[in-house]
Amino acid sequence: MSTHLFSEADHAELYQKYRPKWSAEFAEKVVAFVKEKGTLRRSTPPGRFAPTEGRCPVPNQDQEDQDIGCGSGQSSEILASHFQHVLGIDVSEPQIAMASATNKLNNVEYRVAPAESIPVPDGSVDLVMCLEAAHWFDVEKFNVEVDRVLVPGGCLAVAGTIEEKFSQDELTQISHQFLRQGPMKDCWHENLVRYLFTEYRTLPMPYDGVIRDESMSIETDLTIPQYVNLASTISPYREFCRRNPEDKGALLQNLQKSLYKATASTKPVEEVIVHVTFPIFLLMVRKPEV
């Protein structure tokens, strides 16, 4: 069953504002894989996209794409130009409300639904895509559902990031200390340890022939407070707050102080910009055609 660790309205707002955006390069690589075998149907009903499944478009063709675990919509948006209709689904009502409220694309739609029960007909999807969410699913049920909705020759793409790197090594060390070795070290959900810590090498996939790609990354410039706000959106920190209500943001304040000190900058902390790299691991696999 998909978990509900991202359900609060305030968290959905932070998630939408501070989570890094996936690139056009990433979208193009996924779309290229879908088109590779020429399996897209020439006559199909209008398509959808949702952060775990989708129909990839080609010229003069109706397409459907779906993004499972879409959160506040960042991952749905990057494929909108490649699909006639995009459907993003997420189990969190606040996340879907935020995605819908900020959506400016006519061909993108959002619905509340779990990854294990995708609201589309059998054999109606060419691409199922899921970014930074597959580790939260009931993987066995999800894989069965992926097989149900994909057309023969359709594709599943799952991706994630972990262990961000700063342009300054000391900042990277401080970040990793905060994430893995400090007070949050016991707040990582078992699914994160099992799947995310291994960069999905242990994630069961529904078919053989998985293609793994580690050639891409998300590159972004953030002020230190922006990075700290981003850190506040991750599930281990939310769990830490649940266990330690008396903290009241002190852990994040200490993180900001440590990062600021390490830069040795004389500017106000709000003006100190750091470059952060989020290495991407991408897995793609195709449903057999027969």
Residue whose C-alpha is closest to residue 227's, from 248, 267, 255: 255
The answer to whether 134 and 195 are in contact (CB under 8 A) is yes
Q: How far apart are CA 279 and CA 277, in angstroms?
A: 6
pLDDT digits (tens, 9 = 90+) for 122-139: 998 888 999 999 999 999
Nearest partner of 132 among 55, 200, 61, 216, judged by Cα: 200
From the list 78, 132, 133, the residue with the least C-alpha distance to 108 is: 78
Helix (H) or strand (E) holding 126: strand 125-131
pLDDT (tens digit per residue) in 133-169 = 999 999 999 999 999 999 999 999 999 998 899 999 9
pLDDT tens, residue by residue, 174-207 = 999 999 999 999 999 999 999 999 999 999 999 9
Q: What is the largest CA-CA distance in the chain?
A: 64
What does each C-alpha distance from 124 to 33, 75, 269 come to in angstroms? 18, 20, 50
β partners of residue 159: 131, 282
pTM: 0.84
Q: Domain 9-162+190-217+278-286: which CATH class?
A: alpha beta
